[in-house]
A and B are shown apart, each in its own frame.
Chain A
Amino acid sequence: MRKRTLQRGLTGFWWLTVAFLYLPLAVVVLFSFNASNSAASFSGLSLRWYRRLMGNEEILSAFANSMVLAITSSVIALAIGCLIGYGMYRHRHRKLGWLIVLIYLPIVLPDIVFGISEMAFFVQIHDWTGLLQPGLGTMIIAHVTFQIPFVALIVYSRFVGLDPTLFEAAKDLYATPVRRVVHFMLPTIKPALISAFFLSFTLSIDDFVISFFTSGPESATLPIYIWGAIKKGVSPEINAIAALMIGAVAVAATISLAFSRRRLT
């Protein structure tokens, strides 16, 4: 009897928490359709803020920057992180403590310290050499830095999950290392690669603080644009862009759900 009350209470609490988690997002989406420029009251449906978005060159270029940044950095991080992940696996019997520390560093470092360190450092290097001008280039460098560890860990754990005898078999099957890589390793870790790529991509799209400090005049991404717009105080349009980004995440979540279900069965 008591157990059932507890369970019921928990169910109620669960739905409350879900409401708590989705309320702010729902409000953003709702107000993106608000006919008036009010934060407090909803006065009818309208697409006026979406219409304003269209043809706003700044937003379009911010979107393009976000995409270029996310794709380029994810590809580079995938290549580098993959190598490290494999190296960590192959040499897991050695003492690689320093490497583990190094790989965890980008994960544990507070964003603000991460961003500011790179900003200050890039400025100094630019002063001395003229390289590393703040812009997409420096942002890509920064993003790759925080993506590498995630790729490495995902790839590493995929290798650990494999049957070690597979590697022996592959050695017998394919004569050259190149063929082993192409015909055995890449296909076997393909799911890990895909998931690592998408995780890197999401991390990049999501990042604000590090991008903010390493960006240049022409490399504002969507989060940076939204931050600027919030700071400036023009609100309804932000709702519209934010709603679009929330929609994109919802689509990604659905896809991910579909995949995870397939994996379960």
Chain B
Amino acid sequence: MSYTGVTPTARSRAMVREARHLLFTVAPGASWIIVFLVLPSAYLMGVAFMSNGPYGLPEMPLSLESFKRLAGFGFLGWSPGNLYTLIRSLWQTLISTGLVVLVAYPIAYYITTCRERWRPIMLLLVVVPSWTNQVIRTFGWMNLLAPGTPLSGLAESLGLIAPNMGLYPSNFAVTLGLVYNFLPFMVLPLYAAFEKLDTAQVEAAQDLYASPVRAFWHAVFPQTLPGLLAGIVLVAIPAFGMYVIPELLGGGKGMMLGNLVATQFSGGANWPLGAAGAILMLIATFVGLFAMRRIGKRLGGGEEVVI
């Protein structure tokens, strides 16, 4: 082939080079994630549409059986077991996220009122416990809440729990574990929001509204909303799929969606059902992310959400 047409200009040669550069830098990582995460997830989704073999492994033909099972329809008729699990997961997510907000909001504010050189240290103090392994942290709570410990004794004498029973295992222990686990995830974005707080606006509001509550509501709260939303997503999504905490602190009473999914694989029960549960978790994750993006965009601070 001879060059009959236009000779390649310097510009288009540069474009080719750029494209090659892009390919070279991005391809290894992108293909790694595609091969080792996208394909496996796609495979898992495929498993959800297969039938359950006699011993829990996926089999042909394709079917929607596992989704029916997830919704509670077994061949014994409808039963509410999985629905309980689902509602429990939602409820635990809701209540623990709410509690985390209630604790983290004043803490994040308080840190910004402290002297500047103390702030990184205070943030570090909040974050360090989350560097230790999740299993270890949860184990610490097992030690604290077991029957016969001072905390359990206190709860017992207040009549909060039945005699001889510890605070663990219980749904309460699971909530506590979740709050403990996710608190730092909420403090950090809220702190970032408070740090950028426009104090002029706050002062104007203080002049404008007589009550501090209204001043807070109209001037402070809206400004911290993006941070709050970021925190809620960072807490609620992983809380919804939590496995370790209900497994260790719930003692079989506090089963959540993560446990339902995991036992289908680690207890040899039903791979397709577990995969269907995983799909549900994925949907919840993406709905959460999408909702936050939408709200974040409307508030005009959506890009902050990174980690």
Contacts and interface: CB of A to CB of B under 8 A. Distances in A.
Interface of A: 2, 7, 10-11, 13-14, 17-18, 20-25, 27-28, 31, 39-41, 80-81, 83-84, 86-88, 90-91, 94, 99, 102-103, 105-114, 116-122, 124, 141-142, 144-145, 148-149, 152-153, 202, 205-206, 208-209, 213, 222-223, 226-227, 230, 235, 238-239, 242, 245-246, 249-250, 252-253, 256-257, 260-261, 264
A222 B307 CA distance: 27
A66 to B, nearest CB: 10
A198 to B, nearest CB: 11
Contacts of A202: 131
A103 to B, nearest CB: 7
A246 B110 CA distance: 27
A242 B110 contact: no
B269 interface: no
Contacts of A124: 43
20 contacts: A14-B111, A14-B122, A17-B126, A23-B140, A28-B136, A28-B140, A88-B26, A106-B33, A107-B307, A109-B285, A110-B241, A114-B37, A122-B40, A124-B43, A141-B36, A206-B133, A208-B135, A245-B136, A246-B136, A256-B124
B260 to A, nearest CB: 10
A145 B136 contact: no
B23 to A, nearest CB: 9
A108 B285 contact: yes
A2 to B, nearest CB: 8
B140 A24 contact: yes
A194 to B, nearest CB: 17
Interface residues of B, number: 79
Interface in B256-285: 258, 261-262, 265-266, 271, 274-275, 278, 281-282, 285
A10 B110 contact: yes
B33 A213 contact: no
A40 B122 CA distance: 32
Contact of A153 (B33, B141, B212, B306): B306
Given A110-B240, A110-B258, A94 B136 contact: no
Contact of A257 (B28, B121, B139): B121
Contact of A109 (B28, B41, B137): B41
A58 to B, nearest CB: 16
Contact of A110 (B37, B40, B132, B237): B237
B180 A20 contact: yes
A112 B262 contact: yes
B253 interface: no
A223 B11 CA distance: 54
Interface in B107-145: 107, 109-111, 113, 117, 120-122, 124-126, 128-129, 131-137, 139-144
B40 A230 contact: no
B25 A90 contact: yes
Contacts of B44: 113, 116-117, 120-121
A242 B111 CA distance: 30
B47 A120 contact: yes
Given A145-B37, A206-B133, A242-B139, A253 B180 contact: no
Given A90-B22, A109-B37, A141-B36, A25 B129 contact: yes
Contacts of B244: 208-209
B38 A111 contact: no
A87 B137 contact: no
Interface-centre pick from B22, B129, B212 (highest chain A CB count, 10 A): B129
Majority SS at the chain B contact face: helix
A87 B41 CA distance: 25
A213 B261 CA distance: 12
B147 interface: yes
B133 A226 contact: yes
Interface-centre pick from A80, A90, A202, A238 (highest chain B CB count, 10 A): A80
A141 B39 CA distance: 14
Contacts of B39: 121
Nearest to A103: B33
B133 A112 contact: no
A238 B289 contact: no
Interface in B79-133: 103, 106-107, 109-111, 113, 117, 120-122, 124-126, 128-129, 131-133
A102 B38 contact: yes
Given A11-B110, A257-B124, 7 more contacts: A84-B28, A87-B22, A90-B21, A116-B262, A246-B132, A260-B120, A264-B120
Nearest to A122: B40
B149 interface: yes
A106 B40 CA distance: 12
A242 B132 CA distance: 9
Contact of A116 (B24, B147, B183, B274): B274
